[in-house]
Amino acid sequence: MAELTQRDVAYEANGTRMIGCLVAPVGAAGADASALAAGGPAAESRPGILLVHDAFGLGADTIDLAARYAELGYAVFAADMWGERTEPQGGADIGRLIGSMAANRGEWMSRLGAAHEAAAAQPEFDADRTVIVGACFGGSSALEYVRTGAPVVAAVSIHGGLDLVAHDWSAAIGSATVLLCTGADDPMAGPEHWQPIKAGLTGAGIDWEFDLYSGTRHAFTNPKTDALGMPGAAFHPRNAARAWARTVDFLGEVTGAAAGIRSSAR
Amino acid sequence: MAELTQRDVAYEANGTRMIGCLVAPVGAAGADASALAAGGPAAESRPGILLVHDAFGLGADTIDLAARYAELGYAVFAADMWGERTEPQGGADIGRLIGSMAANRGEWMSRLGAAHEAAAAQPEFDADRTVIVGACFGGSSALEYVRTGAPVVAAVSIHGGLDLVAHDWSAAIGSATVLLCTGADDPMAGPEHWQPIKAGLTGAGIDWEFDLYSGTRHAFTNPKTDALGMPGAAFHPRNAARAWARTVDFLGEVTGAAAGIRSSAR
């Protein structure tokens, strides 16, 4: 297990105080020597993952997830999208928060942009190799960020709420690469939702992979899903493992064979 | 690199002489000691891959592929579907051979069944853990074998010609698990072809994963594809690597954590 450093990072978006969290491997002496020699980023910088939480806010589960990615060698910046580390508890709160983003996409993207800027200011985080990653609302956010022209090399949407993603991809940057892992029985990600996304990505020249799992509902990677009693959502441990494995491979591919990033064994 | 054993295995299907090829790791001393203790298969048996060639027959490329799987710890039986190791060279020959299978699915499945039986007779091949794997025509064959009730634990179709798969899945065994890796621009695997397959699999209670790659045509795993000048087909090295990696993970999952099978490094 790599030794990790973790610290809160306060930043602001349109007057709201956010408290993100940086988790990264401790040190990397010599790991990026070739990059340094080429005038690249400082020795301690690592490909950056901008991790966007699900509807429940930036809590312990998301920070644990950030640590899982950091153990693979990434510098992970977990964004705080609701501000002040708000963790909404009930469906009404969640609906209000997500609704406020869907109703004001400029604000939504401002918050992501502010998180990305705060991430880029951390010495561990190589912003030139940023991948935005998220599940549920975080997956919607990752796709929206790409759709609106975000400077990321790639995005990962794990059971993203595809119904939240708008349809105009004209601002997107064609060099991005996108991975979507979605349950075939996810009511927020049915064919009526992913067909326009596939068309939009393709139209924007964005490379994509779409992995669809049978018998799988919304929020399938979250062990706590079942306790919520949400119709259309269920934990699916095997496909959570598949999506994790696929994401790890994808991250390794799109961030390059960076020293310190564990490659898959093949 | 594991040391491999390789031998031709002649068998017969409805009067046609087939010459399959077995490729497996040499020995496995102690590897299956726990299975032996539990009254399981002999120490040298390994989860079996029934490998079905593409339209071009059982030639050197397919035997090389069999060796790649064998190096991972599997016993691989490469079927000879055209008989006498026929390797058709031209489109007319290929069209005639594939057409003859599509027109006589009983014969097609007999040939697969005979190959499976010949495989099961090899001491290295644990037929109780058979996965049928194939690309192009081999992928169509894998799906047809499952559709018609094949006793396999899983099937992998890599850019399978989905247009060849019939629609009645009532004979299929629900315990199978299926992986499909398909190019989004494959004319033999468009939505009109995979929608009925997904519906059929789901209806049969068969677990499936469908991975779709953008900008990717038929036969994308074959470096020789481009030289053929086939419209709708093109080699895609990166997605060939993705499909290989996904298949390796999938095989490890569906055959269990068998000793001697290299697990992915996470």
> Residue A33 above 70 pLDDT?
no
CA distance B211 to A211: 4
Query: Which chain A residue lies closest to B72 (C-alpha atoms)?
Result: A266
Walk me through the domains of chain A, giving residue ranges and CATH numbers: 4-255 (3.40.50.1820)
CA distance B199 to B19: 36
Helix (H, G, I), strand (E, B) or coil at A255: coil
Mutate to test the interface with B, among A212, A216, A253, A262 (most CBs of B within 10 A): A212
Q: How far is A227 from chain B (nearest CA, A)?
A: 24
**Exposed / middle / buried, residue A126 (Cβ in 10 Å: 0-12, 13-18, 19+):** buried
Chain B residues whose CB is inside 8 A of the A209 CB are 211-214, 239, 242
Categorize the per-residue pLDDT at B265 as very low, low, confident or very high, splitting at 50, 70 and 90: very low
> Which pLDDT score is estimated for B59?
97
Please, are residues B153 and B177 in contact by the beta-carbon 8 Å criterion? yes
More confident residue, A27 or A248: A248
Which has the closest alpha carbon to B180: B224, B135, B214? B135
Categorize the per-residue pLDDT at A56 as very low, low, confident or very high, splitting at 50, 70 and 90: very high
pLDDT digits (tens, 9 = 90+) for B145-190: 999 999 999 999 999 999 999 999 999 999 999 999 999 999 999 9
> Residue B257 above 60 pLDDT?
no
Say whether B201 and A184 touch across the interface (CB within 8 A): no
DSSP state of B199: H
B91 Cβ under 8 Å from any chain A Cβ: no
Mutate to test the interface with B, among A249, A251, A253, A262 (most CBs of B within 10 A): A249
Helix (H) or strand (E) holding A96: helix A91-103
> Which pLDDT score is estimated for A39?
52
Query: Which chain A residue lies closest to B215 (C-alpha atoms)?
Result: A207
Query: Which chain B residue lies closest to A213 (C-alpha atoms)?
Result: B209
- Which tokens belong to A168? 């105009």
Q: Which residues contact B9 (CB under 8 A, 6 or more apart)?
A: B19, B20, B21, B22, B77, B118, B119, B122
> Which pLDDT score is estimated for A30?
37
Q: Which of B29-38, B44-53, B111-120 has the lowest mean pLDDT?
A: B29-38
Categorize the per-residue pLDDT at B39 as very low, low, confident or very high, splitting at 50, 70 and 90: low
> Which pLDDT score is estimated for A44?
72
Q: Which residues contact A66 (CB under 8 A, 6 or more apart)?
A: A21, A23, A49, A51, A76, A78
> Which pLDDT score is estimated for B33?
47
pLDDT digits (tens, 9 = 90+) for B80-90: 999 999 999 88
To the nearest whole percent, how much of chain A has pLDDT over 90? 85
Please, are residues B257 and B263 in contact by the beta-carbon 8 Å criterion? yes
User: Mean pLDDT across chain A, nearest whole number?
Assistant: 91
Three-state SS for A97-144 is HHHHHHHCHHHHHHHHHHHHHHHHCCCCEEEEEEEEEEECHHHHHHHH
Predicted complex: ipTM over 0.85: yes
Chain A residues whose CB is inside 8 A of the B257 CB are none
Mutate to test the interface with A, among B194, B206, B209 (most CBs of A within 10 A): B209
Global confidence as pTM: 0.91
Which has the closest alpha carbon to B138: B252, B49, B70? B49
Beta bridge partners of A233: A218
> Which pLDDT score is estimated for A128?
95
